């Protein structure tokens, strides 16, 4: 029989167990034969994989460096399609790539290229399966229909979507795509964007690429870089493979293969419980003692673990209802994800509002500066709980008789005033196990999880040595590694000292920079490198840009952009400059600083505290636009402990900056905020304001807003200080702010924060 086929096929079939790289028409893979097609470098192969006696076909990393059971599948034909054990995958003689399912007896997936004069297929070294015509033009490619994974070099264009492997029919689905404003977006269903990149280039014709050195990058239509993030092991040479996958739990992660295992080196949503509906209808997300996210159903009516965790109240409930209080719990509606938000209510009112509304099933009270009550009208809710969550939720329970009276309060009758506090009657269901819901077993999930894990291509070590100062065009994230000799060069042998350990320098393209010496003695090299990578991945127009660094064994330098107008402190000390800082400019300044800090606190992969925010660390460019510097050094590099503490401190410090900017005195005016508060209380606000701006005119409403939010920042009880995001909203005029209570501890510039706590601060 073989003799009748073309000689090239005979060669392949007779002498090689697999077809390498070039796949002629008529080639076939089948479940029974367990054969595969490999790329020329052997890094990728396309073959059937087993999912508990059902099969799928896909491209997986095939490298001998990775044990077979850890080889991740990076592309699957037909997504979640599963076929029987006599199925085959064929490049037909008319050029169509088809998957035939033996169970159903039909072709279930095809590339639909029979009219495109396909001459052969090639599995390229980068993992792309392409169909070529006689002219070697690509007619179809697997990169054109990505599954849940991006391998290095693969483009995700604005018309493409990465979709997480499906969990079950009920639960939600997650996708990654480029949204209309040009950001990468993680979306739940079509409604909810729960993560996005922060580029906002206002165009949607972009592409996302995973660079082989471990950076996830977004390029615009003319291939200039608009956004990037870096993996922990960015640029490290011992990483053999990388891949980016939208994992089953809705988080986007970068995986790399180092020292014989797959590691997660970056994930989009730092706190897994912040992934919208990560628990679906199986409950609410919490971390167990070992720090793993698990799904719990705190209000299940049955003692048998159920795949669904619905609220125990339906709108047809006849015999009335009672409310269950869940402390440290935040709930949100998922089907539909709509809620009614009522602001300026107390926790008790929030409970009553739900109790009295026949349609309400649950409510959540949140106080993030402005107290809010979020009313839910569906039985489908998800959420999260944990000691760090300050929200309280109220769940309505129907009093209609039911067959089995559940043992709701298995734990101690914790809070006598709240008569039903329920805790975890069902035990925990791990997030990963959610996939088991709906007929798929846990084992399948594990197989998928392990199987899909990871990938990609082994590249030579990225050599920094080829990098010259003047690259082609601007590179927004391109901070450069520099040698000590280069630093000497750009600073003219450290000639122009402009501050403590700080020198002015000029890059070859005439850009002025500030070079600061952190001292090899003071910072460990590895830690410094990690810090640089982190700082280099932070981009905000109101943060001073990192231009380069030097991390030789005996040197630690950071190189930043130079801003012509110097620090805010020096500007406020200069009467001439102060005059030029009109009320409008000052408000813009505050807003810029607030946005920058808010971005650090909330917009970054991990919380970044500033830690030493002050007028000295805020710089003004030629247009008096503010940029914050020295971020991330005191806040997390030094003591990467309590983020909450640094956060509260930043808010306090921002209060001091507001006072300095309003009063025109870097020391906060006579008597600090106590005196300012008394003046505000007495209606003498004009006395607080810098005389230099009064002449130019001050908007009374704006001033009132600034002062109110400022006094909130000075609250001794850290929990009463507004989050930075709220401050931004207030300064923008988007939300109203209540009159603040007395700050109650002295708040002069020099004063340390008091530890005194307001007695009436509870609740
Ligand atoms: C190929 O072309 C023929 C004739 O033009 C058409 O009937 C058929 O539907 C086409 N097939 C595909 C897969 O486009
Ligand atoms: C990705 O897109 C760029 C720009 O369009 C292109 O040059 C490059 O070849 C593409 N890469 C792949 C693997 O298709
Ligand atoms: C995008 O558009 C918005 C509104 O049109 C504008 O405020 C913003 O500055 C633009 N951003 C960029 C990067 O052009
Ligand atoms: C790129 O996008 C911008 C903004 O949408 C547009 O003005 C420009 O013409 C585009 N350039 C190309 C080469 O498509
Ligand atoms: C936490 O959850 C993980 C994953 O389900 C599990 O392996 C671990 O044993 C759990 N730890 C505790 C203390 O329950
Ligand atoms: C949910 O919100 C959408 C859009 O905001 C609206 O069209 C829909 O009617 C709302 N559904 C409910 C149940 O309120
Ligand atoms: C309820 O809990 C009590 C004590 O924990 C136990 O004795 C009783 O059997 C439980 N009832 C049900 C219906 O599970
Ligand atoms: C809980 O409170 C409701 C109404 O406030 C009351 O009817 C019920 O008896 C209380 N339950 C317990 C166990 O105290």
336 lines ligand 6 (CB under 6 A): yes
Would you say residue 401 has pLDDT above 80?
no
Half-sphere exposure of 511 (CA within 13 A, CB side): 16
Using 50, 70 and 90 to split pLDDT, how confident is the model at 439? very low
Q: Which helix (H) or strand (E) holds 568?
A: helix 568-573
Residue 553 makes CB contacts below 8 A (sequence gap 6+) with 520, 525
Distance (angstroms) between ligand 5 centre and the Cα of 272 equals 15
Distance (angstroms) between ligand 2 centre and the Cα of 109 equals 26
Report domain extents, the chain: 2-145, 166-278+437-462, 298-426, 478-540+553-561, 563-761
Task: Tell me the average pLDDT across 258-268.
Answer: 91
The hierarchical CATH code for the domain 166-278+437-462 is 2.90.10.10
Alpha-carbon gap, residue 172 to 180, rounded angstroms: 22
In tens, the pLDDT along 509-534 reads: 788 999 998 887 777 888 888 888 77
Q: Identify which ligand lies nearest to the alpha carbon of 427.
A: 5
Q: Which pLDDT does position 400 carry in this prediction?
A: 65
302 lines ligand 7 (CB under 6 A): no
Cβ atoms within 10 A of the Cβ of 615, count?
23
Half-sphere exposure of 43 (CA within 13 A, CB side): 19
Question: Reduced to 3 states, what is the DSSP secondary structure of residue 190?
Answer: coil
**Would you say 129 and 147 are in contact if contact means Cβ atoms under 8 Å apart?**
no
Of the candidates 281, 279, 230, 274, which has an alpha carbon nearest to the alpha carbon of residue 256? 230
Alpha-carbon gap, residue 20 to 159, rounded angstroms: 31
Query: Six-digit token pair at 376?
Result: 């839910």
% of the chain at pLDDT higher than 70: 80
Q: Which pLDDT does position 694 carry in this prediction?
A: 80
Alpha-carbon gap, residue 42 to 458, rounded angstroms: 11
Q: Identify which ligand lies nearest to the alpha carbon of 183.
A: 3
Of the candidates 98, 131, 101, which has an alpha carbon nearest to the alpha carbon of residue 116? 131
Of the candidates 658, 543, 537, which has an alpha carbon nearest to the alpha carbon of residue 598? 543
Beta bridge partner(s), residue 216: 210, 229
> Exposed/middle/buried for 287, CB within 10 Å: 0-12, 13-18, 19+?
middle
Give the CATH fold of the 298-426 domain.
Hepatocyte Growth Factor (3.50.4)
In tens, the pLDDT along 626-679 reads: 999 988 775 433 344 445 678 888 899 999 999 999 999 988 777 788 889 888
Among protein residues, the one with the nearest Cα to ligand 3's atom 3 is 202
The radius of gyration computed from the CA coordinates of the chain, to the nearest angstrom, equals 30
Q: Which pLDDT does position 478 carry in this prediction?
A: 58
Of the candidates 567, 577, 570, 652, which has an alpha carbon nearest to the alpha carbon of residue 612? 652
Q: Which pLDDT does position 376 carry in this prediction?
A: 92
- Assess whether the previous peptide bond of 137 is cis (omega < 30° from 0): no
**Helix axis angle, 700-713 relative to 643-663, nearest 10°?**
140
Of the candidates 604, 613, 609, 596, which has an alpha carbon nearest to the alpha carbon of residue 644? 609
> Exposed/middle/buried for 500, CB within 10 Å: 0-12, 13-18, 19+?
exposed
Alpha-carbon gap, residue 38 to 517, rounded angstroms: 51
Distance (angstroms) between ligand 3 centre and the Cα of 261 equals 43
Would you say residue 540 has pLDDT above 90?
no
Using 50, 70 and 90 to split pLDDT, how confident is the model at 594? very high
Averaged pLDDT of the chain: 78
Atom of ligand 7 nearest to the CA of 410: 5
Atom of ligand 5 nearest to the CA of 288: 1
Among protein residues, the one with the nearest Cα to ligand 7's atom 8 is 407
461 lines ligand 1 (CB under 6 A): no
Alpha-carbon gap, residue 734 to 728, rounded angstroms: 9
322 lines ligand 8 (CB under 6 A): yes
Least-confidence region, from 345-359, 558-572, 624-638, 717-731:
624-638
Would you say residue 97 has pLDDT above 50?
yes
Task: Tell me the average pLDDT across 428-441.
Answer: 34
**Would you say 130 and 154 are in contact if contact means Cβ atoms under 8 Å apart?**
no
Q: Which pLDDT does position 445 carry in this prediction?
A: 31
**Would you say 733 and 705 are in contact if contact means Cβ atoms under 8 Å apart?**
yes
Phi, psi of 704 (to 5 degrees): -60, -45
Mark 455-486 as b/e (b = at least 16 C-beta within 10 Å). Answer: bbbbbeebeeeeeeeeeeeeeebebbbbeeeb
Give the CATH fold of the 2-145 domain.
Agglutinin, subunit A (2.90.10)
In tens, the pLDDT along 193-211 reads: 999 988 777 787 899 999 9
Would you say residue 273 has pLDDT above 80?
yes
Task: Tell me the average pLDDT across 71-79.
Answer: 90
Q: Identify which ligand lies nearest to the alpha carbon of 302.
A: 7
Q: Which pLDDT does position 572 carry in this prediction?
A: 92
In tens, the pLDDT along 690-741 reads: 888 887 788 888 999 899 899 889 888 777 788 888 888 888 887 777 778 7
Q: Which helix (H) or strand (E) holds 577?
A: helix 575-580
Task: Tell me the average pLDDT across 557-578.
Answer: 91
What's the first-to-final CA gap in the chain, in angstroms? 84
Would you say residue 443 has pLDDT above 60?
no
State which of 112, 113, 115 you would mutate to test the pocket of ligand 1, scoring each by most atoms of that ligand within 8 A of its C-beta. Answer: 115
**Would you say 624 and 592 are in contact if contact means Cβ atoms under 8 Å apart?**
no
> Exposed/middle/buried for 218, CB within 10 Å: 0-12, 13-18, 19+?
buried
Distance (angstroms) between ligand 3 centre and the Cα of 202 equals 6
Would you say residue 616 has pLDDT above 50?
yes
Q: Which pLDDT does position 433 carry in this prediction?
A: 33
Atom of ligand 4 nearest to the CA of 222: 13
Give one DSSP letter per residue of 443-502, joined into a string. Answer: HHHHHHHHHH-------PPPPGGG--SS-SS--TT--EE--HHHHHHHTTTTT-EEETTE
Alpha-carbon gap, residue 469 to 189, rounded angstroms: 45
Q: Which pLDDT does position 259 carry in this prediction?
A: 83
**Helix axis angle, 700-713 relative to 724-732, nearest 10°?**
170
Using 50, 70 and 90 to split pLDDT, how confident is the model at 20? low
**Would you say 266 and 232 are in contact if contact means Cβ atoms under 8 Å apart?**
yes
Beta bridge partner(s), residue 371: 367
Give the per-residue SS3 of 138-154: EEEEHHHCCCCEECCCC
Least-confidence region, from 4-8, 97-101, 300-304, 719-723:
4-8
Would you say residue 388 has pLDDT above 50?
yes
Residue 47 makes CB contacts below 8 A (sequence gap 6+) with 29, 34, 35, 36, 37, 57, 58, 60
Question: Reduced to 3 states, what is the DSSP secondary structure of residue 719?
Answer: helix
Among protein residues, the one with the nearest Cα to ligand 6's atom 10 is 338
Distance (angstroms) between ligand 4 centre and the Cα of 224 equals 12
Task: Tell me the average pLDDT across 450-466.
Answer: 26
Atom of ligand 7 nearest to the CA of 405: 13
**Would you say 487 and 508 are in contact if contact means Cβ atoms under 8 Å apart?**
no
Among protein residues, the one with the nearest Cα to ligand 3's atom 8 is 202
Q: Which pLDDT does position 746 carry in this prediction?
A: 52
The matching CATH number, chosen from 3.40.50.620, 1.10.150.80, 1.10.510.10, 1.10.3720.10, for 563-761 is 1.10.510.10
Alpha-carbon gap, residue 448 to 50, rounded angstroms: 10
Task: Tell me the average pLDDT across 18-32.
Answer: 82
Q: Which pLDDT does position 3 carry in this prediction?
A: 39
Q: Which pLDDT does position 748 carry in this prediction?
A: 46
State which of 322, 395, 405 you would mutate to test the pocket of ligand 8, scoring each by most atoms of that ligand within 8 A of its C-beta. Answer: 322
221 lines ligand 1 (CB under 6 A): no
Give one DSSP letter per residue of 74-118, joined into a string. Answer: EEETTTT--B-TT-EEEE-TTS-EEEEETTTTEEEEE---TTTTE
Beta bridge partner(s), residue 502: 499, 516
Q: Which pLDDT does position 330 carry in this prediction?
A: 93
The hierarchical CATH code for the domain 478-540+553-561 is 3.30.200
338 lines ligand 6 (CB under 6 A): yes
pTM for the full model? 0.55
Q: Do domains 298-426 and 563-761 have the same CATH topology?
A: no
407 lines ligand 7 (CB under 6 A): yes
């Amino acid at each position: 029989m073989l003799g009748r086929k073309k000689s090239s096929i005979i060669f392949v079939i007779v002498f090689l167990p697999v077809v390498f790289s070039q796949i002629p028409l008529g080639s076939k893979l089948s479940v029974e034969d367990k054969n595969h097609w490999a790329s020329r470098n052997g890094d990728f192969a396309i073959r059937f994989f087993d999912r508990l006696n059902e099969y799928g076909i896909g491209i997986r990393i095939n490298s001998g460096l990775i044990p077979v059971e850890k080889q991740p599948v990076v592309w699957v034909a037909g997504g979640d399609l599963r076929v029987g054990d006599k199925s085959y995958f064929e490049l037909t003689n008319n050029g169509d790539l088809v998957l035939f399912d033996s169970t159903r007896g039909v072709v279930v997936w095809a590339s639909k290229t029979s009219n495109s004069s396909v001459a052969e297929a090639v599995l390229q070294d980068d993992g792309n399966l392409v169909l070529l015509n006689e002219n070697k033009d690509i007619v179809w490619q697997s990169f054109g229909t990505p599954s849940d994974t991006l391998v290095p070099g693969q483009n995700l264009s604005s018309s493409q979507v990465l979709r997480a492997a499906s969990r079950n029919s009920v639960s939600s689905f997650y996708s990654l795509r480029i949204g209309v404003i040009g950001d990468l977006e993680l979306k739940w269903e079509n409604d909810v964007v729960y993560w996005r990149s922060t580029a906002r280039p206002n165009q949607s014709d972009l592409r996302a690429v995973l660079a082989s050195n471990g950076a996830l990058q977004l390029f615009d239509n003319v291939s200039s870089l608009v956004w990037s993030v870096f993996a922990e092991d960015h640029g490290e040479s011992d990483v053999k493979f990388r891949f980016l996958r939208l994992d089953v739990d809705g988080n986007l992660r970068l995986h790399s293969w180092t020292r014989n295992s797959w590691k997660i080196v970056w994930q989009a949503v730092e706190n897994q419980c912040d992934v919208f509906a990560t628990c679906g209808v199986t409950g609410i997300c919490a971390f167990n003692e070992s720090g793993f996210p698990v799904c719990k159903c705190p209000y299940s009516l049955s003692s048998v673990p159920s795949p669904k965790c619905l609220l125990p109240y339906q709108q047809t409930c006849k015999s009335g209802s009672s409310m269950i209080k869940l402390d440290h719990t935040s709930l949100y509606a998922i089907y539909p994800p709509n809620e009614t938000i009522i602001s300026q209510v107390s926790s008790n009112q929030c409970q009553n509002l739900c109790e009295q509304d026949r349609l309400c099933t649950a409510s959540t009270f949140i106080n993030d500066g402005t107290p809010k009550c979020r009313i839910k009208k569906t039985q489908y809710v998800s959420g999260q709980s944990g000691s760090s969550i300050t929200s309280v939720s109220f769940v309505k329970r129907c009093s209609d008789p039911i067959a089995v009276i559940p043992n709701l309060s298995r734990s101690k009758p914790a809070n006598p005033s709240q008569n039903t506090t329920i805790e975890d009657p069902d035990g925990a269901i791990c997030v990963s196990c959610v996939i088991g819901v709906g007929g798929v077993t846990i084992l399948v999930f594990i197989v998928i999880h392990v199987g899909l894990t990871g990938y990609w291509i082994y590249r030579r070590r990225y050599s920094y040595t080829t990098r010259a100062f003047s690259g082609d065009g601007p590179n927004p994230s391109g901070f450069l590694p520099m040698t000590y000799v280069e630093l000497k060069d750009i600073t003219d042998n450290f000639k122009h000292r402009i501050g403590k350990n700080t020198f002015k320098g000029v890059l070859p393209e005439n850009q002025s920079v500030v070079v600061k010496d952190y001292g090899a003695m003071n910072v460990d090299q590895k830690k410094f490198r990690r810090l640089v990578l982190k700082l280099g991945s932070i981009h905000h127009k109101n943060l001073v840009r990192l231009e380069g660094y030097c991390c030789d064994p005996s040197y630690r330098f950071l190189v930043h952009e130079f801003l012509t107008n110097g620090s805010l402190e020096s500007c406020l000390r200069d009467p001439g400059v102060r005059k030029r800082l009109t009320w409008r400019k000052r408000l813009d300044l505050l807003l810029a600083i607030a946005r920058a800090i808010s971005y650090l606190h909330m917009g970054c992969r991990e919380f970044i505290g500033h830690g030493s925010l002050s007028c000295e660390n805020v710089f003004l460019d030629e247009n008096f636009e503010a940029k914050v510097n020295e971020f991330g050094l005191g806040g997390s590099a030094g003591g990467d402990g309590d983020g909450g503490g640094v956060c509260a401190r930043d808010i306090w410090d921002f209060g001091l900056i507001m006072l300095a900017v309003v009063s025109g005195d870097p020391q906060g005016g006579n008597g600090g905020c106590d005196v300012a508060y008394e003046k505000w209380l007495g209606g003498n606000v004009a006395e607080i304001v810098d005389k230099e701006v009064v002449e130019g005119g001050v908007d009374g409403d704006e001033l009132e807003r600034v002062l109110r939010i400022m006094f909130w920042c000075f609250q001794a009880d850290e929990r009463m200080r507004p989050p930075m995001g709220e401050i931004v909203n207030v300064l923008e005029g988007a939300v109203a702010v209540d009159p603040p209570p007395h700050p109650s501890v002295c708040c002069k510039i020099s004063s340390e924060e008091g530890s005194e706590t307001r007695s009436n601060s509870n609740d």
